[in-house]
Structure 1
Amino acid sequence: MDEIDMAGGAPVTVRELLPEDEKGVARLFAACGDYFTAATGSAALPADVQSLYYALPEGAEFDQKRLLVVCRGGGVVGLVDLVDRYPDAESCSVGLFVVAPEARGEGVGSAVAGRLIEEGAGRGTRKVAAACPGGWEPGLGFLRGLGFAVGEPEELTGETLGNRTRQPAETGLRRAWLNLG
């Protein structure tokens, strides 16, 4: 993926996460405390950045995993963690999609998601799966705005949700899916 022009704002660049991005992603995670608290009950930890590299659902291969950073003005303003061709060859599962608070409401997330959906559809993706904390309205609104169907809150733990295993503190998560064709 490359540069995405933003109407009325600075363009963003979307690219694969590099080891030197770790500090920027750690700052992003700290800034996105509202999301992490809603999702897990606590703020993100520095080790959460490193664990992104290894978080993979059962049955998926490491070559299916994509960690993408969204950059603007030299800084990281977003991150997308997805597993392509999971749980089947025509699906994509998104485990994490966060945008820094200072970039929210500017269309950054929608532009990046739109480009990823377009590229996925061009490669044969027919379904995108995601999850969102049940009470986190910014995320639920974002998913609905993209056309995702959002399910009811679920209380089960220890199962795969999106592209990762749900943790015990993650209650009330809502599955979301988008059919592309």
Structure 2
Amino acid sequence: MIKGILDDEYLIKPITSSNRDEIKNLYDLCSDYHIMCSGKNATYEDVDSIFEYSDKKTSEDSLTLGVYDKCDLLVGMVDIFKNYPDNGTWMIGLLLLSPNERNKKLGTIIHEEINKYALIQGADTLRIGVVEQNTKGLKFWKSLGYQQIKSTTINMGGKESNLNILNLILK
């Protein structure tokens, strides 16, 4: 399990549906992301959807982590599904940082921890989907070595977007 201190400034630890209000507060801070993706602010239903599972995305293969600052405030989160869509591939469903924590290398530090943990757990690939209009996100993931493998469409909150699927082969 990924848990510990990140860069002496942040604590990363598992979060659950019991953190619903904290997650909603983070979503509100990150309204720019939600509006870009879905055209609207996030709701509690959007928060709850993080913890909804299916035959392909099980709770056992889910890893939802919160990133807390020194004041114990949730300033980021990452949601990962192990062995999705294939065995050995870990899908990063979301990496979200509050605006005050962006551009501080925190995303890179979190990614390094995910990468290390995934390798230890036997993963060989990390995958992420980035909506086309998220140009900063796309630039970030490509800077980490991710390469686009395909494009598809996605409907988020009634808004259809092109989705770039990127992979990183782990070493």
TM over 0.5: yes
Q: In structure 1, list runs of 5 or more residues that go unmatched.
A: 159-165
Query: Distance between the aligned counterparts of 1:116 and 1:175, measured in 2?
Result: 18
Q: Does 1:175 align with 2:165?
A: yes
Q: In structure 2, list runs of 5 or more residues that go unmatched.
A: none
Q: Which amino acid aligns with 1:68?
A: L
User: What's the % identity of the aligned pairs?
Assistant: 20
Q: Which residue in the other structure is 1:41 paired with?
A: 39
Query: Distance between the aligned counterparts of 2:112 and 2:64, measured in 1?
Result: 17
Q: Report runs of 4+ in structure 1 exceeding 6 Å deviation.
A: none
Q: Which residue in the other structure is 1:53 paired with?
A: 51
Q: Which amino acid aligns with 2:141?
A: L
Query: Distance between the aligned counterparts of 1:101 and 1:16, measured in 2?
Result: 21
Q: Which amino acid aligns with 1:101?
A: P
Q: Does 1:142 align with 2:140?
A: yes
Q: Which residue in the other structure is 1:2 paired with?
A: 4
Query: Distance between the aligned counterparts of 1:128 and 1:104, measured in 2?
Result: 22
List aligned pairs for 1:77-156, cutoff 5 A.
Answer: 77-150=75-148, 153-155=151-153
Decide whether the 8 Å contact of 2:67 with 2:77 is kept in 1: yes
Question: What is the aligned length?
Answer: 168
Q: CA offset at residue 168 of structure 1?
A: 4.8
Q: Which residue in the other structure is 1:70 paired with?
A: 67
Query: What SS does the corresponding residue of 2:79 show, helix, strand or coil?
Result: strand
Q: Normalization by structure 2: what TM-score?
A: 0.88
After the TM superposition, which of the residue ranges 12-21 and 84-93 deviates more from structure 2? Answer: 12-21
Decide whether the 8 Å contact of 2:39 with 2:157 is kept in 1: no
Q: Which amino acid aligns with 1:71?
A: Y
Q: Normalization by structure 1: what TM-score?
A: 0.84
Q: CA offset at residue 88 of structure 1?
A: 2.4
